Amino acid sequence: MKPSAFVFASLLASLTACAPVRPDAVASAHEAAPAATATPVAAMDSERDIVLVVANPLEPAPTHAGSNMLGYAPSAHYGAGQRAVSVLSDLKQAYGMREVTGWPIKALSAYCVVLKPAEGADRDALIAQLSRDDRVQLAQPLQDYSVYSDAPAAQDGKKYNDPYTDLQRGFVETQAALAHTVTQGQGVHVAVVDTGVDMSHPDLQGHIHDSDDAVDNNSAAFNHDRHGTEVAGVIAAVGDNRQGMVGIAPKSRLSIYKACWYPPDQRAARCNSFTLAKALAAVNDTDARIVNLSLGGPADPLLSKLLAQLLNEGRIVIAALPPDGGTGGFPDGAPGVIVVRSSATTPAGPGILSAPGKDILTTQPGGGYDFTSGSSMATAHVSGIVALLLSLAPQMDARTAHDLLLRTSSVTNGMLEVNAASAVAALRSSQEKPAP
């Protein structure tokens, strides 16, 4: 399928909804999590619902002779422990709340639920009350998040037989083909937290290591999702398969975490605090060094905790700059996150990287290709370039990667933007210098 003329797919999202529960025996036995509906995200309301977190220790609860306490699920299947179940039951009764869904967060030794306040209750006042309750670790609104996307000459370097390579504006402008003479991202694991992805796309098939659906476990919807498919193609589309395009890091491997979805009859993808928390906690259990977050929204206590943990473990988190250019939300406001905007003629803010994000040819659901725009695509370019760097220097940290990309950015068509070839060359040069 030939790419059509420039199509700008605006994927502005505001979120409401959440992930389905995978109830374990303990949770279901104590009614800590209700049975999942066919479309659990539809039951969520970001204007009313509350996200609440209580302690759920990993250690099994002590028992005594004759006790029928269920304790905790085995470590291989971390579920809701007796303490969390009992606390949640008391809280729901005391504050008149109804549970929509819940999920254990192993990374935080906690159990997280989405709750509906009683009809007519003031949500802000209820959150304030809950925050003062010693049994509650965290209480906050269920918040909305958006993906940042709007719905291209030959170059020196590695030659590909993929027919659309010369139409890939970002691939050409960052001189990725030249960088590919040195590295193509071999052995680097990239986690993409986004919508679903067309797993059978000929330019992605075989490069996706695994996937996880934090929304509704609907495989048909997962494979039909557009935004994640676009991001995945920019990062790791297969090279030299005589079709389509080439990713910035075509030999990296991807893990896809669906936290955003398309509501019926809407073009905008949505995600929320709970689905994003599920995805980030799942990433925490992998060896992924790069986490691509082509989305954003308001600051969020729960998401901030999970993001901080990923950063403390040495993950390199790459996030899109919001359309309004402001920072301070999730994930762009977290110290240590690499923030990326679409290249522009105006100067970027301090420390913000610029990358191609306008009229970007990339993969589409159904095995197709088309053009799209937005800082989501710019972020995917940087994730791909960082994968090239990590394949040469596996121990590189986020600060080093950021500074190297900023230092080696170059002017293309009057705009300063990251350059894959220059970054790789500078890294190789530093590695070849003899020790003093």
Task: Establish if 91 belongs to a structural domain.
Answer: yes
Q: Is the domain of 175 the same as that of 114? A: no
Alpha carbon of 369 to those of 6, 168, 244, 317: distances in Å?
11, 11, 7, 27
Task: Calculate what percentage of the chain has a pLDDT beyond 90.
Answer: 69
Task: Establish if 391 belongs to a structural domain.
Answer: yes
Q: Is the domain of 135 the same as that of 175? A: no
Instruction: Write down the residue that tokens 């991202």 correspond to.
Output: 185
Q: Is the domain of 171 the same as that of 305? A: yes
Is residue 71 predicted with pLDDT exceeding 60? no
**How far is the C-alpha of 419 from the C-alpha of 175, rounded, in Å?**
6
Q: CB-hemisphere CA count at 13 Å for 221?
A: 18
Q: Is the domain of 96 the same as that of 223? A: no
Task: Establish if 149 belongs to a structural domain.
Answer: no
**How far is the C-alpha of 165 from the C-alpha of 163, rounded, in Å?**
6
CB 302 within 8 A of CB 277: yes
Highest-scoring range by mean pLDDT, 75-79, 147-151, 157-161, 231-235: 231-235
Task: Establish if 49 belongs to a structural domain.
Answer: yes
Mean pLDDT of the chain: 85
Q: Is the domain of 210 the same as that of 82? A: no
Predicted local distance difference test score (pLDDT) of residue 387: 98
**How far is the C-alpha of 133 from the C-alpha of 156, rounded, in Å?**
63
Q: Is the domain of 171 the same as that of 137? A: no
Predicted local distance difference test score (pLDDT) of residue 156: 58
Is residue 30 predicted with pLDDT exceeding 70? no
Of residues 37 and 418, more confidently modeled: 418
Is residue 313 predicted with pLDDT exceeding 60? yes
Express each pLDDT in 181-195 by its tens digit.
Answer: 999 999 999 999 999
Q: Is the domain of 174 the same as that of 107? A: no
Taking residue 241's Cβ as centre, other Cβ atoms within 10 Å add up to 17
Three-state SS string over 105-149 comes to: EHHHCEEEEEEECCCCCCHHHHHHHHHCCCCCCEEEECCEEEECC
Encoded amino acid at 352, one letter:
I
Q: Choose the weakest-confidence range: 140-149, 271-280, 287-296, 334-343.
A: 140-149
Q: Return the bridge partners of 254, or none.
A: 190, 208
Q: Which band of pLDDT confidence, cut at 50, 70 and 90, is reported for residue 376?
A: very high
Is residue 359 predicted with pLDDT exceeding 90? yes
Is residue 73 predicted with pLDDT exceeding 60? no
Give the catalytic positions in this structure.
Answer: 194, 227, 376
Predicted local distance difference test score (pLDDT) of residue 413: 83
CB 208 within 8 A of CB 197: yes
Task: Establish if 147 belongs to a structural domain.
Answer: no
Task: Establish if 409 belongs to a structural domain.
Answer: yes
Predicted local distance difference test score (pLDDT) of residue 8: 32
Q: Which band of pLDDT confidence, cut at 50, 70 and 90, is reported for residue 160?
A: confident
Given 76, 107, 141, the domain boundary residue is: 141
Predicted local distance difference test score (pLDDT) of residue 435: 59
Residue range 98-110: mean pLDDT, rounded: 89
Task: Establish if 158 belongs to a structural domain.
Answer: no
**How far is the C-alpha of 360 from the C-alpha of 270, rounded, in Å?**
22
The pTM of the full predicted model, rounded to 2 decimals, is 0.81
Express each pLDDT in 193-252 by its tens digit.
Answer: 999 999 999 999 988 999 999 999 899 999 999 999 999 999 999 999 888 999 999 999
Helix (H, G, I), strand (E, B) or coil at 303: helix
Encoded amino acid at 131, one letter:
S
Q: Is the domain of 182 the same as that of 132? A: no
Q: Is the domain of 196 the same as that of 108? A: no
CATH number of the domain bearing residue 215: 3.40.50.200
Q: Is the domain of 83 the same as that of 225? A: no
Is residue 92 predicted with pLDDT exceeding 50? yes
**How far is the C-alpha of 220 from the C-alpha of 93, rounded, in Å?**
38
Residue range 352-369: mean pLDDT, rounded: 96
Alpha carbon of 191 to those of 278, 285, 352: distances in Å?
13, 11, 21
Q: Is the domain of 112 the same as that of 176? A: no
Q: Is the domain of 334 the same as that of 200? A: yes
Encoded amino acid at 130, one letter:
L
Task: Establish if 328 belongs to a structural domain.
Answer: yes
- Radius of gyration (C-alpha) of the chain in whole angstroms: 22
Q: Say how many domains are in the chain.
A: 2
Is residue 33 predicted with pLDDT exceeding 50? no
Given 126, 141, 156, the domain boundary residue is: 141
Predicted local distance difference test score (pLDDT) of residue 332: 95
Range of the domain at 33: 25-141
CB 82 within 8 A of CB 69: yes
Nearest-5° angle of CA 192, CA 194, CA 199? Answer: 70
